[in-house]
Structure formats: structure tokens, C-alpha cells
Amino acid sequence: GLTLQTKSAVYFLPFAGIRYLESQGRLVRCVTDHGTCESYARLSELEGQLNGRFFQCPKSFVGNMDRVTAFASTRFTLSTGERIPVSTRRRAEARLRFLQSLKEGFSEGSRSEA
């Protein structure tokens, strides 16, 4: 999981509950199923803690691919309906990651049913 320090506490956030991280200046917002945590950190510092299921869309967003349900050329849509922008430069890679994520999801689903 991700360890995030705020002004008043330190949180351990399981990867499965993280929807996305957003950098706004020196502040990083971590949006989870249980609310939003904000920390004065660099997104690049936090990325080192994340597993391979996370994808940096533009420089200011990192999304959890396990939560993405749709991809359009300019954005990911999450299972919650939230949208994460995808930069033009990362568009081709974003599409590949989304398709890979779908394939892996189908494989895991078929294994658990067997």
C-alpha cells in the first residue's frame, strides 16, 4: 500500500482502495474509496511506493488501472464515473495499458471461476 503523511497523521492506504493521485502545485491529493487525503509531497516521490497497476496519465495525475472502465483519446473513466485526463504524449501508451488491464482482468476472472 501507499504510506501518506498529512499535517495531522500518517496513513497506510491499500492500493485497491486508491482511485487516483493528483498533484496541484506542492500538494498531492490521494482520492480513495473512503475519502481524500492531502499531503505536501511530490507526486514523483509517492510514485516510488506504487505498484505496476498505476499509470501516470499527464504529469499531474496517476490513476489506478484496476479502477479504469473506459478509455477515450483524452481521458480514462473510472468505475465511479470520475474522469482522469490523458495527455496527448501518453495516449498510445495509455491505450495499451488499458487493453492490457482488461485482458488481465478477464484472465483473473476465468481462473477464479474454474
pLDDT the model gives residue 111 = 43
Q: Residue 60's CB: how many other CB atoms inside 10 A?
A: 16
pLDDT the model gives residue 109 = 52
> Which strand (E) or helix (H) includes residue 22?
strand 18-24
CA 47 to each of CA 26, 53, 80, 89, 109: distance values in angstroms, whole numbers, following the listed order: 15, 11, 22, 19, 28
Task: Dump strand ranges (E) for 33-102.
Answer: 35-40, 54-56, 61-64, 68-72, 75-78, 83-85
CA gap 69, 79 in Å, rounded? 6
Write out the chain's pLDDT in tens, 114 residues.
999 888 888 989 999 999 999 999 889 999 999 999 999 988 888 988 999 899 999 889 999 999 999 999 899 999 999 999 999 999 999 999 999 988 887 666 544 443
pTM of the model: 0.86
